[in-house]
Structure 1
Amino acid sequence: MKSRYVVMASALFLSVAGFAQKNEIKAAEKALKSGSAAEAITILTGAESLSASAPDAERAQFLFVKGNAYLDLANKNVEADKNLSLAAQAYQQLLEVEKTSGKQKYSVQAATSITDIKNKLINAAIEDTKKEKNAEGAKKLYEAYMLEKKDTINLYYAASTYVNAKDYDTALKLYEELKKLNYSGKATYYYAINKVSGQNDFFNNVADRDRLVKMGTHEKPTMEKVPSKRGEIYKNIALIYVQQGKSDEAKKAVSDARKANPDDTSLILSEANLYLESKDMETYKKLIAEALEKNPNDVDLIFNLGVVSANAKNYAEAEKFYKRVMELDPKYINAYINFAAMKLEDEKVIIDEMNKLGTSTSDMKKYDVLKKKREDLFKSIIPYLQKAVELDPKNTDVTKTLLNVYSALEMTAEYKALKAKM
């Protein structure tokens, strides 16, 4: 008899607890409908312990109201970032509960809300990056990815944004995750002009776009092929290792990148640069030769070889590459600008030597020699600066440099003619 009483009391306790939770949920729903989401959350927080042991149907309802309350606060800009995240957590728990129970009463609405939250996070991240709040933007993009992992592009953008935030450790972690997922990013995007809004609307597939074009709501269908991002991912992994001073890891990463993207000459340059920094000139020259063999007349490649060589203070090699670009493409303005800038590096050395001299007869003779050397240097770069100005008359930096050269050489007529064009 005593044992039976205990069982009955226990059953009574469970029914009372369940009844209490139902009341709490109803009270929270009432508060939410009246516009007091904060009150609804307070009520639900008090019933949280009861919710853990509640039947699946009640647990799902509890989580649905909880998610709605947090989302309502976020929509009212009350700690929006925090409450969006809490709303998403509640909805995801709801989906899990109903998936386990096999009864999906709230799942469709919860999934719709999750999509809404994901879009809000992405839009907020875009606004953050516009304000150069890259760390905050990257976090939101990663949260958007965690809400819907099939949208791996959000993971890719999160990694890139962490790089912009200079949080290289987190960026590396996300890039490695993309690598494991074998993420490509290669895709075809479909667009058509909306006749009402005039906007170029995006479509997930060609069938949806063509259907609306046929219906007459859209016109001027176009498509955009997006190339694979694998090479960039591998390259960024290598560059982060370089930033962290991990040369061996960087070399392995870029080597892996080249195996995955054998036709990407930019990866050859990245690898060449790594060996250049480690003073392994033999491997560096071998890689440069390989790059040129693949694309002997690629002006962008040859220009970049000039940049790499100039950065390594290998000026003779850089000069050779820049002049080769000018031969292949006489309108490649950056080759003229970089060549002139590289040559002007020598002026600093000449000026430093001149400033060390005294007023003795021997020093004055040395001064005259250095002055002549400086004048010859200026004369040698005039044709390149003139060509750059001719190609881009609105480039004020180049124009000012040429004016300074004219002034130093006392080329008054040329100075006045150029000044008049500004």
Structure 2
Amino acid sequence: MKIKNVILSSALLMSVATFAQKDEIKAAEKAFKKGNAQEAITILQGAESLISNASDSEKAQFFFVKGNAFLDLANKNIETDKNLSLAASAFQDLIEAEKASGKSKYSTEAATSITSIKYKLINGAIADSKVDKFSGSAKKLHDAYLLDKKDTLNLYYAASTYVNAQEYDAALKLYDELKNLNYSGKGTSYFAVNKLTSEEDLFNTLQERDKMVKLGTHEKPRTEAIPSKRGEIFKNIALILVQKGKTEEAKKAISEARTANPEDTSLILTEANLYLETKDFVTYKKLIAEVLEKNPNDADLIFNLGVISGNAKNSVEAEKHYNRVIEINPKYTNAYINMAALKLDGEGAIIEEMNKLGTSAKDMKRYDELKVKRQNIFKSVIPYLQKAVEIDPKNEDVTKTLLNVYSALEMTAEYKALKAKM
């Protein structure tokens, strides 16, 4: 008899608890409808410990009220980030509860709310990035990804933003996830100019873009290929590993990536950049040559070869590469700048020798020779600096360098004309 009494007492306690949580859910729902979201949350906290024993339908109702209450607080700018996260978690629990019950009373509305929260997080992340709050921005982007794991672009941006925040361990964790997902980000973007705003709008599909053009709301359609991001992903993985003193792990990661994606030339360049970071210039040039075999007109790659040659004091080879870049892309500003810098590099040694000379006839003769040599260097860089200023007139460093050259050559008219444009 005693055992039966215990069972009966337990059943009675459970029944009372069930009624209590039902009452609390109703009370919370009533408070929320009256606009008292915080009161609703406080009431629900009292039922939190009992909800595990509730039916799936009661759980769904509990999480529905909870999610809406937290979302209401976030919309009122009350601890926005925290409450958006709590709201999203509640809505996800709701959907799981209704999946278990086989009923779908609140799931559609919850899914809509989750989508709304996702875009609130993304907009918040963009706002944070604009004021250099990269850590908060990265977390919001990652939270947005966790709400919709099909949208892997948010995971990619979260990883990149953690790099900007210099939180390399967090970035590495997300890059590893991207690697395991075999994420590339390769695709196509569709644009057209909005006739009303005169701004270019981005469309998700070709059909959507073409439909708007046909309707007459947009014009000047444009299609842009989105290159693979694998190279950048593995480059950052490698750089982080190198920074942590794990160079061999970095090399292994890129080697595995290349094996899995043999046609992705961006990964060859990534591997080359790793050897550049570790100052293995021979392997770097070998890998760059491999890429150039597949794409001989890649101006960026050839420019990098010029930089490497210049750093190795091989000015002849560097000049050859920079000239090739200019031939491929006549508006490649940095090629003109580096060409000028390459030629000006010899000026320091000339000035040093000139300053050491005395006043003897022999020294004065040598001084004049060096002066002519210095002037010839200045004359040789003028076309490159002028072109760089023409392409990028806002580059103050280049403009100042050209002014100094004009001044040294006593080109007064040219000096005044350029100075007037500043």
How far apart, CA to CA, are the structure 1 residues paired with 2:293 and 2:175? 31
CA deviations on 1:271-319 (whole Å, 9 max, x unpaired) are 3343344444442342343334333344343223213433555444322
Normalised by the size of structure 2, how large is the TM-score?
0.85
In the TM superposition, 1:43-54 aligns within 5 A as 43-54=43-54
CA deviations on 1:217-259 (whole Å, 9 max, x unpaired) are 9555765543332333223322333444433233333334444
Paired letter, 2:175: Y
Paired letter, 1:55: S
Cα deviation, residue 212, structure 1:
7.3
Question: Is 1:386 aligned to residue 420 of structure 2?
Answer: no
Confirm or deny: 8 A CA contact 2:239 2:274 kept in the other structure.
no
Paired letter, 2:326: M
SS in 1 for 2:310: helix
CA deviations on 1:109-139 (whole Å, 9 max, x unpaired) are 2111111111111111111111121111111
Identity among equivalent pairs (%): 69
How far apart, CA to CA, are the structure 2 residues paired with 1:293 and 1:178? 29
In the TM superposition, 1:371-382 aligns within 5 A as 374-382=374-382
Question: Is 1:68 aligned to residue 68 of structure 2?
Answer: yes
SS in 2 for 1:47: helix
Q: 1:309 to 1:49 in 2, by over 3 A?
A: same
Q: Name the stretch that deviates more: 89-98 or 201-210.
A: 201-210
CA deviations on 1:154-177 (whole Å, 9 max, x unpaired) are 111111211222222221211111
Match of 1:185 in 2: 185
List runs of 5+ in structure 1 lacking aligned partners: none
Question: Is 1:169 aligned to residue 174 of structure 2?
Answer: no
Q: Name the stretch that deviates more: 378-387 or 95-104.
A: 378-387
CA deviations on 1:60-80 (whole Å, 9 max, x unpaired) are 211111111111100100000
Confirm or deny: 8 A CA contact 1:306 1:321 kept in the other structure.
yes
CA deviations on 1:363-412 (whole Å, 9 max, x unpaired) are 97799476665444333322322343455556543232111112123333
In the TM superposition, 1:146-157 aligns within 5 A as 146-157=146-157
Question: Is 1:134 aligned to residue 154 of structure 2?
Answer: no
How far apart, CA to CA, are the structure 1 residues paired with 2:87 and 2:129? 23
SS in 1 for 2:78: coil
When the two chains are superposed, the root-mean-square deviation of aligned CA atoms in Å is: 3.5
Work out the number of aligned pairs and report it.
420
CA deviations on 1:185-208 (whole Å, 9 max, x unpaired) are 233455677788888665555566
How far apart, CA to CA, are the structure 2 residues paired with 1:272 and 1:290? 10
Confirm or deny: 8 A CA contact 1:235 1:253 kept in the other structure.
no
Cα deviation, residue 210, structure 1:
6.6
Q: 1:276 to 1:114 in 2, by over 3 A?
A: closer
In the TM superposition, 1:191-340 aligns within 5 A as 204-205=204-205, 220=219, 224-262=224-262, 264-311=264-311, 313-340=313-340
Confirm or deny: 8 A CA contact 2:231 2:270 kept in the other structure.
no
How far apart, CA to CA, are the structure 1 residues paired with 2:334 and 2:70? 53
Confirm or deny: 8 A CA contact 1:258 1:268 kept in the other structure.
yes
Confirm or deny: 8 A CA contact 1:190 1:204 kept in the other structure.
yes
How far apart, CA to CA, are the structure 1 residues paired with 2:359 and 2:197? 79
Normalised by the size of structure 1, how large is the TM-score?
0.85
